[in-house]
Amino acid sequence: MLQIPKICVGDILEMKKAHPCGGKRFRVMRTGSDIRLVCEGCGRDMVLPREKVEKSLRKVFPAPENTETE
Ligand SMILES: [Zn+2]
């Protein structure tokens, strides 16, 4: 079974494709059917469909506050 990582607000996502600025890590600002991400490299934000985010996701670094509550 394909395991889809849980994405929470505050998590850092590492993507397979780098942002034009060269950054590969993005902070999750909002989740839902669309996910709002802010590039850790240049601070730009973007909204991507969840499906697209999950496909290009390499790794999730959970935010400390999220790991504490689980
Ligand atoms: Zn960037």
Ligand 1 centre to CA of 52 (Å) is 17
Ligand 1 centre to CA of 57 (Å) is 16
Residue 17 lies in a domain: yes
Give the chain's end-to-end CA distance (angstroms, integer). Answer: 23
What mean pLDDT value characterizes the chain? 90
Distance, CA of 49 to CA of 22 (rounded, Å):
21
pLDDT in tens, 20-54: 999 999 999 999 999 999 999 999 999 999 999 99
- Whole domain around residue 33: which residue ranges? 12-61
Residue 40 lies in a domain: yes
> Would you state the pLDDT for residue 21?
97
> Would you state the pLDDT for residue 67?
64
Ligand 1 centre to CA of 69 (Å) is 30
Q: Total domain count for the chain? A: 1
**β partners of residue 34:** 49
C-alpha to C-alpha distances, 67 to 2, 26, 34, 44, nearest whole angstrom = 22, 18, 22, 26
What is the pTM for the complete model shown? 0.85
Ligand 1 centre to CA of 16 (Å) is 14
